[in-house]
Amino acid sequence: MPILSPDTDRQFALDKQQAAKRSTLVSVAVNLALSACQIVIGTIAHSSALIADGVHSLSDLVSDFVVLYANKHSHKAADSDHQYGHARFETAASLAIGVLLLVVGVGMLWAAAMKFEDPSKIPTVHFIALWMALTTLGAKEGLFRYMLAVARRVKSSMLIANAWHARSDAASSLVVAIGIVGNLMGLPLLDPLAAAIVGFMISRTGWNFSREALNDLMDRALDEQQVKAIRATLAETEGIRNVHDLRTRKMGDLAVVDAHLLVDSHLSVSEGHQLALKAHQRVSERFPVVTVTLHIDADPDQNADDPSLPSRRALLDMLNSRLGVPLAFDDLRAHYLGGKIELEIYVDDDDAAREVELRRAAATLPQLRSVQLFQRMG
């Protein structure tokens, strides 16, 4: 069954896309200005930690462009090649950001390690480097708070990842400031040590983002609490006796849900379909899903699989071979319950002789449990 797509859902998706674009462009502007100032001032002030932080800010520009690209494509409608939509562009973007951070962090660790080989060559840092580090700290913390607020408002895991990326920058700027203060106080090793700590923090953040995104790309299920809530929503639908084989997988910030619904075995196909529609509607209204696939199962306490039981067409042929006036295919309903057949026959008039004939013919059918006759209205 297709996912419900009310106008409010489309408007929310549009607002989410626009908010992501605005917040990312703000991040681009801030990171461009900071990275230029950090690298230039770090070079002038002889601070390897500040230069490392500047390179980190420069890497943020790449991640920002990855986010902009994913934001543009993740909201595309489903097509013949991507029949569930393009929501996983966001997950792929989170993976790209994580890998980028991991590479940058390892590079910083390597550069810092080279500094420790000959501490005598570490120069004294100029005071302007401390001023730049503190300015960067304030700017990155403000950027983090702004981006996280936007990400939570539009419920985007990709934007949340990018926001925490900015927070890791703020934390690294604090470490850089401490290292510069130590260098100014006559402890030159603290500057490359700060650069190494920044590299470790970035590597750790990159590893966490990469791992989470990779798990989602490998069809990780929703968390246990969400699965329980979806199960309860399905089970509370009127007419649903039980829910089993419930499976979920993440699709960006949305989810794909598959479940089997247990219903009374006497339900018609159309009634079972109606119950599935109601259950689908309840789930899609309460949870961010891209699609819900529901399979209707007959109650196993009433039903027993037996492939040897004759089909409705076979039953009709056997009945008509014993009747003077044959029945049509739509005159017959068969319920396969407990290895037996419960037969329903629909007639157009109230004819006692016809009823006796039908019951006698039905009594010769194999594995028959019961037969009921119904007169059609009008």
* pLDDT, tens only, 340-351: 888 999 888 777
Instruction: Check pLDDT > 90 for residue 133.
Output: no
Residue 368 vs residues 79, 264, 321, 331, 346: alpha-carbon distances, Å = 49, 20, 17, 17, 17
Separation of alpha carbons 270 and 263, rounded Å: 13
Instruction: Check pLDDT > 70 for residue 7.
Output: no
Nearest to 176 by CA among 130, 236, 135: 130
Instruction: Check pLDDT > 50 for residue 195.
Output: yes
Q: Which residues pair with 243 in a beta bridge?
A: 261
Instruction: Check pLDDT > 60 for residue 9.
Output: no
Q: What's residue 106's pLDDT?
A: 87
Q: What's residue 317's pLDDT?
A: 92
Separation of alpha carbons 235 and 220, rounded Å: 23
Mean pLDDT of the region 137-157: 83
Q: What's residue 182's pLDDT?
A: 85
Q: Residue 303: which pLDDT band, with cuts at 50, 70 and 90?
A: low
Domains and CATH numbers, the chain: 7-217 (1.20.1510.10), 224-298 (3.30.70.1350), 312-375 (3.30.70.1350)
Q: Residue 158: which pLDDT band, with cuts at 50, 70 and 90?
A: low
Q: Residue 306: which pLDDT band, with cuts at 50, 70 and 90?
A: confident
Instruction: Check pLDDT > 50 for residue 4.
Output: no
Mean pLDDT of the region 234-261: 87
Nearest to 30 by CA among 178, 128, 145: 145
Query: How many alpha carbons lie under 13 Å from residue 143 in its C-beta half-sphere?
Result: 33
Percentage of the residues of the chain whose pLDDT score is greater than 70: 84
Nearest to 299 by CA among 330, 260, 326, 344: 260
Q: Residue 159: which pLDDT band, with cuts at 50, 70 and 90?
A: confident
Instruction: Check pLDDT > 70 for residue 10.
Output: no
Please tell me what DSSP assigns to residue 107: H
Instruction: Check pLDDT > 90 for residue 285.
Output: no
Instruction: Check pLDDT > 90 for residue 228.
Output: yes
Q: What's residue 83's pLDDT?
A: 60
Higher-confidence position of 214 and 68: 214
Higher-confidence position of 217 and 16: 217
Q: Which residues pair with 261 in a beta bridge?
A: 243, 296
